C-alpha cells in the first residue's frame, strides 16, 4: 500500500490500488481499514515531501559559500560532486584546466567549505525518446540546480558529523585499495567492500549488466548475511554471549551501511538482518521485507524510483514467496537453477523497462557465478584487504589468487556479453501490466499447482516480441545528435526499418590526465539505446549519405549493436567511408552503391534515390538524396546537399512536390536556396543542428527563407528530437524540447 500510495500519480498504480482496496473491503474488512490507513498516511506523506521539494534560488546567483557533502568524483578532466549552500543542495560540475588543479581538487574532502563563483543552470530534460531524465533524477535527490564554477577560493575545514566522518573513512578505504592493489582487482574490491563501482572498466560493467550479473557487484543480503554470520560466529568463539554479540552487531550494521555507500539494497539487507537479530524466529521473512520497505519509504519516498530499490525488493519478494518450492529441490544445482530462474522472472518487467533486453545466458551464468562470488571472490576480497592492512608480507599470495580469478572471470563475461541477447524493447503500459499479472500467476502456480499459470509469462514475452509487427502506424524520428544527422524510419507493421546516417562524436588528442574512462558517443549513448528501446534487432538498411564524420562517425556502434542487412553508400568514398564499409562487410552486411534512378517499394511506401549522379565536385553535393512517399506525404532527405546539388535536382526533376523537407547541411546558407524552396514548396522543414555550434547553424537567412515560404520549421537545438507518426496520413508531430 505504501508503494501504491506513493505512485498514485501513475494511472495504472491508482487503478491497481483501488481494485485492491475493493477486494479487501469485500473479503477482509478489518485488514481493509489497516491498508486504507496506511495508504492515506503515505499519500499525505509523499504529497508533503513533494510540496517541500522546491528551490529557493532564482538562478541569478553567482557566488556561493558551499560545503562539500558528497564524495568528489574525478574522471579525467571532469569533476562531479554535491555541495550544500544554506539549505539548498547543488550538483557541482567542473572541467579542470590543469593537472595541478586536478591534484588540488583531489585533496578536498567531505566537510570542506569553499567560496565558489560561477553560474547556475537548470538540469537538462531528455531531448530524445527513452533518454535518461537527468532533471527528474536530481529532483528525486532534492537537487534543482547545477553550478558550474569559474573559481574556487578560501577553502577551509568545517566540523563534520559522525555520518560524514564515516563517509570520509569510506573514501580513505577506497583510496587505500586504489593505491595498494592492481587496478582491475582493486576496482572489484571497492565494489564488494565499499559498494563503489566507478573504478570498474565501463565495458566490463556493461557486460555484467547485459548478462544479468550486475547484482553480484552490489552489496546486498548475501554480503550482509556472510558478514553478520561470520562476525556472530567469531564473537561466540571468543566467548561473547549471544545477547551481547547481537547488540554489537545491531550497533555495527548501521555503520557498515554508511561505509558501503548506503544504497537501497544495502539498507534493505541491513533492516532485514536487524529484524532477524531482534526478533529471531518470531518474525517471518516476508514481514521483515515489509518492515524494510516501509521504513525506507518513510525515510525517503523518492527511493521507490531508484532502480536498485525496485530490483532489490522485487527479487527478494519473489524468492521469499517461492522459497518452499526452492527448498523442496534436493539437488543443489536444481536449487541454484530455480533461484536464478525465479529471480530473473521477478525482475523481468523492471529489466525490460530500463534496459530493453535480457540475456538467455543469465540463468546458467548465475548458477556458476553466484557460488563463485559467494564463496571465493567475496571472501578473498575481504581477506586480501584485511591481510594487506595487518600482515602485508602475506598479501601478494592472496592478491595473486584474486587477480587470477577476477581476470579470467572478466574475460568470460566480456566474451559472452553480446551473445544470446533477447532485445524486446521497452514495454508499453498495457504490456507492463500484462507482465505483472502473468508473473503473479506464475508465482501463484507454486501454491495452487496450476501448471498452465507457469507458462503465462512466456505468452506475454511472445506478444511483446511480435507486437511491433501488428502496429498499424509508422514513424520518422530525427534524433537529437548534436551537430550531425541521424534519422530513423519505421514503416507501419514494421515492414521495414531504415536509418539515415548515425551522427558522430569528434574526439581530440587530449593529454593523458584529461582522458575519461568513457567519453560520450552519439552512437553508443543515443542511437543504440534508442534502437534497443524500440525493440529493433535488425535494420533493413543503413543509408550513409556521405563520408563526413558528423554523419557516419559512429556507424560502427550501430553495426556492432544490431544486425544491418544492407549498407547504402553513394559514389564518393573517402577514407572514413571505406573504413565503415570494411566494418560492415566484416559484420556480414551487404554493401550496395546507389545512384540517381534507383528505387524500391515496400507496401504502399515508395523510395527513390534522386542523387548522386556521379558528376558532383564536392562530398556534400555527392550526398545520397532520398525521396520517399510514406503516410500520404512526400519526404525529401537531402544529407548535406548544397546549392549546386539543389540546382541539379531542379534541372533533372521538373516536378518535385515535397511535404516534409530535411533541410540540407544543418541549415547552412550554402543550402536551401530560394529557387530550391520555390521549386519543391515544402510544408514542414526539419533541421538537425547542435546547440551553440561554432558554425552558427542554422544561418539566419535560411530561417528567413523558410518563414517567407510559410514553412513550419522544427530544429533539434530548440525542439530536441522530432517524431512524426503516420499511418495512411500524418497523424502527430512530437518534440522533446530541452
In DSSP notation, 43-64 reads HHHHHHHHHH------S---EE
| Per-residue confidence (pLDDT) for residue 471, from 0 to 100 | 94
Domain boundary among 160, 194, 218: 160
Name the grid cell of 599: 528505387
In the predicted structure, residue 574 carries a pLDDT above the cut 60: yes
Q: Are residues 393 and 326 in the same domain?
A: yes
Residue 231: name the closest of 211, 218, 215, 246 by CA: 246
| Per-residue confidence (pLDDT) for residue 8, from 0 to 100 | 47
Q: Are residues 275 and 197 in the same domain?
A: yes
Q: Are residues 141 and 177 in the same domain?
A: no
Q: Say how far residue 113 (Cα) sits from the centre of its chain.
A: 33
What is the residue-wise DSSP string for 558-572? HHHHSEEEEEEE-S-
In the predicted structure, residue 589 carries a pLDDT above the cut 60: yes
- What SS3 class is residue 76? coil
Rounded CA-CA distance 290/285 in Å is: 9
Whether residue 513 lies inside any domain: the answer is: no
The pLDDT of 701-721, averaged and rounded, is 96
The pLDDT of 372-380, averaged and rounded, is 90
In the predicted structure, residue 334 carries a pLDDT above the cut 90: no
The pLDDT of 69-75, averaged and rounded, is 91
Residue 640 confidence class, pLDDT cut points 50, 70, 90: very high
The pLDDT of 351-367, averaged and rounded, is 92
Q: Are residues 464 and 477 in the same domain?
A: no
More confident residue, 30 or 66: 66
| Beta strand spans in 300-351 (E) | none
Q: For the packed helices 307-321 and 429-448, what is the interaxial angle rounded to 10 degrees?
A: 20
Structural domain including 42 reads: 2-52
Rounded CA-CA distance 522/303 in Å is: 30
> Each residue of 213-234: pLDDT tens digit?
988 888 877 778 778 888 888 8
Contact 406, 189 (CB under 8 A): no
Q: Give the residue carrying C-alpha cell 568513457.
A: 518
Whether residue 57 lies inside any domain: the answer is: no
Rounded CA-CA distance 590/581 in Å is: 9
Strand 538-543 and strand 497-500: pairing?
A: parallel
Whether residue 512 lies inside any domain: the answer is: no
Domain boundary among 160, 191, 208: 160
Residue 661: name the closest of 646, 669, 644, 699 by CA: 646
Q: Are residues 346 and 198 in the same domain?
A: yes
Q: Are residues 74 and 18 in the same domain?
A: no
Contact 543, 436 (CB under 8 A): no
Residue 5 confidence class, pLDDT cut points 50, 70, 90: very low
Q: Are residues 579 and 685 in the same domain?
A: yes
> Each residue of 521-555: pLDDT tens digit?
999 999 999 999 999 999 999 999 999 999 999 99
Q: Are residues 20 and 104 in the same domain?
A: no
Q: Say how far residue 463 (Cα) sits from the centre of its chain.
A: 24
Domain boundary among 160, 185, 205: 160
Whether residue 536 lies inside any domain: the answer is: yes
Rounded CA-CA distance 277/283 in Å is: 10
Burial of residue 560 (CB within 10 Å: 0-12, 13-18, 19+) is middle
Task: Note the helical H segments in 53-127.
Answer: 99-106
Phi, psi of 439 (to 5 degrees): -70, -35
| CATH number for position 649 | 3.60.15.10
> Each residue of 407-446: pLDDT tens digit?
999 999 999 998 889 999 999 989 998 998 888 888 877 7
The pLDDT of 697-724, averaged and rounded, is 96
Sheet with 625-630, strands from edge to edge, namely 599-602, 605-611, 625-630, 633-637, 660-662, 684-687, 712-715
Whether residue 695 lies inside any domain: the answer is: yes
Mean pLDDT, the chain, whole residue set: 89
What is the residue-wise DSSP string for 469-514? GG---EEEEE---SSS--EEEE-GGGS-EEEE-----------GGG
Name the grid cell of 729: 496520413
Whether residue 12 lies inside any domain: the answer is: yes
> Each residue of 467-494: pLDDT tens digit?
999 999 999 999 999 999 999 999 999 9
Contact 642, 665 (CB under 8 A): yes
Q: Are residues 288 and 416 in the same domain?
A: yes
Cβ neighbours for 493, distance < 8 A, ≥ 6 positions apart: 469, 470, 471, 472, 603
Residue 544: name the closest of 534, 535, 554 by CA: 554
Q: Are residues 243 and 263 in the same domain?
A: yes
Whether residue 188 lies inside any domain: the answer is: yes
Name the grid cell of 116: 565558489
Residue 243: name the closest of 252, 254, 235, 253 by CA: 235
> Each residue of 122-151: pLDDT tens digit?
999 999 999 999 999 999 999 999 999 998
| Per-residue confidence (pLDDT) for residue 283, from 0 to 100 | 79
pTM over 0.85: yes
In the predicted structure, residue 308 carries a pLDDT above the cut 60: yes
| Per-residue confidence (pLDDT) for residue 18, from 0 to 100 | 62
| Per-residue confidence (pLDDT) for residue 426, from 0 to 100 | 96
| CATH number for position 108 | 2.40.50
Burial of residue 91 (CB within 10 Å: 0-12, 13-18, 19+) is buried
DSSP state of 374: I
Report the phi/psi class of residue 494: left, alpha or beta, with left for phi > 0 and alpha for psi in -120 to 50: left
Q: Are residues 11 and 88 in the same domain?
A: no
Name the grid cell of 238: 571468543
| Per-residue confidence (pLDDT) for residue 292, from 0 to 100 | 92
Cβ neighbours for 478, distance < 8 A, ≥ 6 positions apart: 486, 487, 662, 686, 688, 714, 716, 721, 722
Q: Are residues 484 and 361 in the same domain?
A: no
Whether residue 208 lies inside any domain: the answer is: yes
Contact 513, 561 (CB under 8 A): no
In the predicted structure, residue 604 carries a pLDDT above the cut 50: yes
Residue 691 confidence class, pLDDT cut points 50, 70, 90: very high
| Per-residue confidence (pLDDT) for residue 4, from 0 to 100 | 44
Structurally, how many domains does the chain consist of?
A: 5
Amino acid at each position: 500500500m505504501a508503494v501504491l500510495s506513493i505512485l498514485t500519480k501513475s494511472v495504472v498504480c491508482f487503478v491497481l490500488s483501488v481494485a485492491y482496496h475493493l477486494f479487501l473491503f469485500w473479503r477482509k474488512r478489518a485488514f481493509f481499514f489497516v491498508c486504507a490507513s496506511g495508504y492515506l498516511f503515505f499519500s499525505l506523506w509523499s504529497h508533503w515531501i513533494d510540496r517541500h521539494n522546491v528551490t529557493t534560488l532564482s538562478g541569478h546567483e553567482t557566488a556561493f559559500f558551499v560545503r562539500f557533502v558528497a564524495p568528489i568524483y574525478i574522471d579525467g578532466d571532469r569533476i562531479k560532486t554535491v555541495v550544500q549552500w544554506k539549505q539548498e543542495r547543488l550538483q557541482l560540475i567542473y572541467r579542470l584546466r590543469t593537472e595541478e588543479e586536478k591534484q588540488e581538487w583531489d585533496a578536498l574532502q567531505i566537510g570542506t567549505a569553499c567560496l565558489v563563483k560561477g553560474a547556475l543552470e537548470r538540469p537538462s530534460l531528455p531531448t530524445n525518446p527513452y533518454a535518461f531524465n537527468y532533471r527528474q533524477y536530481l529532483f528525486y535527490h532534492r537537487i534543482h540546480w547545477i553550478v558550474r564554477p569559474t573559481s574556487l577560493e578560501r577553502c577551509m575545514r568545517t566540523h563534520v558529523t559522525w555520518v560524514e566522518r564515516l563517509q570520509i573513512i569510506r573514501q580513505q578505504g577506497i583510496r587505500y585499495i586504489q593505491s595498494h592493489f592492481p587496478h582491475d582487482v582493486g576496482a572489484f574490491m571497492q565494489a564488494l567492500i565499499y559498494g563503489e563501482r566507478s573504478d570498474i572498466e565501463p565495458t566490463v560493467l556493461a557486460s555484467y549488466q547485459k548478462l544479468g550479473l550486475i547484482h553480484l557487484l552490489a552489496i546486498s543480503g548475501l554480503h550482509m548475511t556472510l558478514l553478520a554470520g561470520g562476525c556472530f560466529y567469531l564473537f561466540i568463539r571468543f566467548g561473547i554471549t549471544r545477547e551481547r554479540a547481537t547488540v554489537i552487531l545491531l550497533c555495527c550494521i548501521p555503520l557498515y551501511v554508511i561505509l558501503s555507500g548506503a544504497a537501497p539494497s544495502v539498507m534493505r539487507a541491513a533492516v532485514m538482518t536487524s529484524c532477524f537479530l531482534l526478533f529471531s524466529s518470531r518474525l517471518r521473512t516476508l514481514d521483515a521485507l515489509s518492515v524494510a520497505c516501509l521504513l525506507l519509504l518513510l525515510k525517503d519516498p523518492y527511493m521507490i524510483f531508484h532502480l536498485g530499490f525496485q530490483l532489490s525488493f522485487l527479487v527478494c519478494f519473489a524468492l521469499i514467496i517461492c522459497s518452499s518450492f526452492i527448498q523442496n529441490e534436493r539437488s543443489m544445482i536444481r536449487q541454484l537453477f530455480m533461484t536464478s530462474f525465479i529471480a530473473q522472472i521477478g525482475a523481468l518487467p523492471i529489466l525490460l523497462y530500463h534496459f530493453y533486453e535480457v540475456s538467455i545466458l543469465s540463468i546458467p551464468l548465475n548458477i556458476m557465478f553466484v557460488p563463485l562470488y559467494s564463496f571465493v571472490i567475496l571472501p578473498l576480497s575481504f581477506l586480501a584487504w584485511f591481510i594487506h592492512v595487518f600482515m602485508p608480507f602475506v598479501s601478494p599470495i592472496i592478491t595473486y589468487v584474486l587477480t587470477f580469478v577476477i581476470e579470467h572471470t572478466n574475460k568470460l563475461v566480456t566474451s559472452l556479453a553480446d551473445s544470446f541477447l533477447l532485445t524486446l524493447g521497452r514495454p508499453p503500459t498495457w504490456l507492463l501490466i500484462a507482465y505483472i499479472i502473468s508473473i503473479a500467476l506464475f508465482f501463484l502456480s507454486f501454491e495452487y499447482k496450476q501448471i498452465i499459470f507457469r507458462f503465462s509469462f512466456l505468452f506475454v514475452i511472445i506478444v511483446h516480441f511480435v507486437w511491433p509487427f501488428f502496429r498499424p502506424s509508422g514513424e520518422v524520428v530525427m534524433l537529437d545528435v548534436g551537430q550531425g544527422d541521424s534519422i530513423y524510419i519505421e514503416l507501419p507493421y514494421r515492414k521495414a526499418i531504415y536509418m539515415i546516417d548515425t551522427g558522430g562524436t569528434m574526439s581530440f588528442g587530449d593529454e593523458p590526465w584529461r582522458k575519461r574512462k568513457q567519453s560520450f558517443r552519439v552512437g553508443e549513448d543515443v542511437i543504440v539505446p534508442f534502437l534497443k528501446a524500440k525493440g529493433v534487432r535488425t535494420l533493413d538498411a543503413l543509408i550513409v549519405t556521405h563520408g563526413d564524420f558528423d554523419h557516419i562517425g559512429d556507424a560502427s556502434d550501430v553495426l556492432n549493436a544490431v544486425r544491418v542487412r544492407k549498407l547504402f553508400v553513394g559514389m564518393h568514398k573517402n577514407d572514413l567511408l571505406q573504413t565503415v564499409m570494411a566494418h560492415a562487410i566484416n559484420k556480414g552486411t551487404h554493401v550496395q552503391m546507389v545512384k540517381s534512378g534507383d528505387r524500391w517499394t515496400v507496401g504502399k511506401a515508395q523510395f527513390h534515390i534522386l542523387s548522386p549522379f556521379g558528376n558532383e565536385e564536392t562530398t556534400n553535393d555527392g550526398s545520397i538524396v532520398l525521396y520517399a512517399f510514406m503516410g500520404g506525404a512526400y519526404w525529401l532527405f537531402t544529407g548535406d546537399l548544397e546549392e549546386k546539388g539543389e540546382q541539379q535536382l531542379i534541372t533533372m526533376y521538373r516536378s518535385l512536390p515535397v511535404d516534409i523537407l530535411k533541410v540540407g547541411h544543418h541549415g547552412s546558407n550554402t543550402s536551401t536556396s530560394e529557387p530550391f524552396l520555390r521549386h519543391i514548396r515544402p510544408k514542414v522543414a526539419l533541421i538537425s543542428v547542435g546547440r551553440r555550434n561554432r558554425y552558427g547553424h542554422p544561418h539566419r537567412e535560411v530561417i528567413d527563407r523558410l518563414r517567407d515560404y510559410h514553412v513550419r520549421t522544427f530544429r533539434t537545438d530548440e525542439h530536441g528530437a522530432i517524431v512524426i507518426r503516420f499511418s495512411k496520413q500524418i497523424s502527430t508531430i512530437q518534440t522533446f524540447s530541452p
